[in-house]
Amino acid sequence: MSVLTAVTVIPSVMQAIDYAEPGGPEVLVAGEVPVPVPAQGEVLIRVAAAGVNRPDVIQRQGFYPPPPGAPHIPGLEIAGTIVQVGPDTEDAMIGQPVCALVAGGGYAQYCVARADHCLTVPSGISMAEAAALPETLFTVWHNLFQRGYARDGETVLVHGGTSGIGSMAIMLGTLFDLKVIVTCGSDDKCDAALKIGAAHAINYKTHDFVEEVKKLTGGKGVEIVLDMVGGSYLPRNMACLADDGRNVTIAVQGGMTADISVLEIMRRRLTLTGSTLRPRSNVFKALLADEISREVWPMVATGELSPIIHSRYPLAEAAKAHAQMESGDLVGKIVLEVG
């Protein structure tokens, strides 16, 4: 098999969005950079669309540096067409429409991905929709089902119910027979979460979500909390948990430390866990992609599971996309479309 195989002429340079120094959205600028070359086990994807995620914003602000070896260019999920493969990678993949979870580099015309981190885009699914899936789907599946051990009939509390993660948790949880309660920052967002499929939505600005969860569960509490806040939310999350409940933290927007009762954990047999996806090994991500392809991807192919896209921006307007992400004024995902 050839070291590199191509079916189209691939330029030596491409347009990409990057930043020289951390800062506000305005530091994101377009420029010309070399087209990456796929290594062994990798493919080069001509990007049609890239998802925008909260970690991209945190990276741009200077608080979430790329892991060793990852591109500095932001972007953790893409969709497009494979145009080149690296050594010992199947030539047959060339021409396939795929979406992929990547460690960075998505805000560009071309991006390298691990071949075993790619999922074939089903017919009837747009590239923009496909690009909005990997980061949230991989994150929710791993944390809700693999780390949280979610089982049919259980009740889950999800903070940030209309975010990309929150909306995916609602849809995925509903498909797997979970009852999903969410918190949101306004009545309008609560209404949107209910339309997505949440069983209940709590406006955390006007109601104490701990008291509301107790009312909604008849005092029992929920089996799982999927938390993107951390900080002072952790003891409140514990108060929402039923005995033997599991709290899974996936972000710390509210702070990195918390004051909790260890005795409460022992007495009620609670499990506190969490994870970050980006720094995990390629082997782990490949196993996760394989499980998702078997357990969830058929639902994407049939249209049972599709992302909610709030807005789309041209690649050159990535700064505007980040500004909207920071404003919190969205329901679902933001996608960059690459011309």
The pLDDT tens digits for 73-132 are: 999 999 999 999 999 899 999 999 999 999 999 999 999 999 999 999 999 999 999 999
Distance, in Å, from the CA atom of 209 to the CA atom of 227, rounded to the nearest integer, reads: 13
Backbone angles phi, psi at 124, to 5 degrees: 90, -10
Q: Is the pLDDT of residue 5 over 70?
A: no
d(C-alpha 204, C-alpha 209), whole Å: 6
Q: What is the pLDDT of residue 6?
A: 43
Average pLDDT, the chain: 96
pLDDT at 7 over 70: no
- C-alpha 237: how far from its chain's center? 22
| Backbone phi and psi for residue 154, each to the nearest 5 degrees, phi listed first | -80, 160
Length of the chain equals 339
Q: Are strands 241-249 and 222-227 parallel, antiparallel or unpaired?
A: parallel
* Cα separation, 247 vs 245, whole angstroms: 7
| Tens-place pLDDT, residues 256-277 | 999 999 999 999 999 999 999 9
- pLDDT band with cut points at 50, 70 and 90 for residue 339: confident
pLDDT value at 255 more than 50: yes
